Amino acid sequence: EVQLVESGGGLVKPGGSLRLSCVGSGFSFTNAWMSWVRQAPGKGLEWVGRIKSETDGGTTDYAAPVKDRFTISRDDSKNTLYLQMNTLKTEDTAMYYCTALLDALDYWGQGTLVTVSS
Amino acid sequence: NFMLTQPHSVSESPGKTVTISCTGSGGSIASNYVQWYQQRPGSAPTTVIYDDDQRPSGVPDRFSGSIDSSSNSASLTISGLKTEDEADYYCQSYDTNNPWVFGGGTKLTVL
């Protein structure tokens, strides 16, 4: 069974930093393209960014609102995906989900909540 | 930029059939696959349709997806509605500038 477990969310002040983690199990993490998607309270889904598998180059892409502030990385030896978030803004407050693309199908984690507030 | 537009809400009675539309603008919806995600209240999204019309294992065949190039839209159809189908539904596709593009979501009420 595919499982994705996010952690690292919490309350942070504007301008602060936070690192989220997502541990995958039940699938070949090495071969998966991984993404982060967020959802502000009461709002729709917003793509944050993704990282390809190392086999496919391991490159990253980011949505415009987070580009140059957020960094996605992966440690395949630990089956773990990361989201480093710097210079956080109040509008970054959201539930953050990681997803794994396996054979054209996306699997979702349960999410971790990030609140940016003074 | 490619955008996807969904109706804000739809409602239908149990046992009936409902169709949720997802209209593309700024590009052809047929150029890339469309996915549909279901998000029940308080839960994470799950995939109910991928690659336009494919159902993951475990998703009932009451759920189906289609593409209509003439209207540049995708559709999610749910037949034999059950109260457990009440949820938010999001369509998603791809764009050269943003690898993932989401529709705004449709709230399905089964009453």
Which tokens sit at A112?
A: 């971790």
pLDDT the model gives residue B99? 83
CA B77 to chain A, closest CA, distance in angstroms equals 19
Mutate to test the interface with A, among B100, B102, B106, B107 (most CBs of A within 10 A): B100
pLDDT for position B95? 85
On the question of pLDDT at B73 being above 90, the answer is yes
- Which of A49-53, B16-20, B95-99 has the weakest average pLDDT? B95-99
Shortest CA gap A48–chain B (Å)? 9
Q: What is the pLDDT along chain A (118 residues), one digit of tens a residue?
A: 999 999 999 999 999 999 999 999 999 999 999 999 999 999 999 999 999 999 999 999 999 999 999 999 999 999 999 999 999 999 999 999 999 999 889 999 999 999 999 9
CA distance B31 to B96: 11
Residues of A with CB under 8 A from a CB of B: 35, 37, 44-47, 50, 61, 63-64, 97, 104-111
Q: B47 to chain A, minimum CA–CA distance in Å?
A: 7
CA distances from B98 to A15, A17, B84, B95 (A): 25, 24, 32, 5
Contacting residues for B50 by C-beta, under 8 A, at least 6 apart: A104, A105, A106, B33, B35, B36, B56
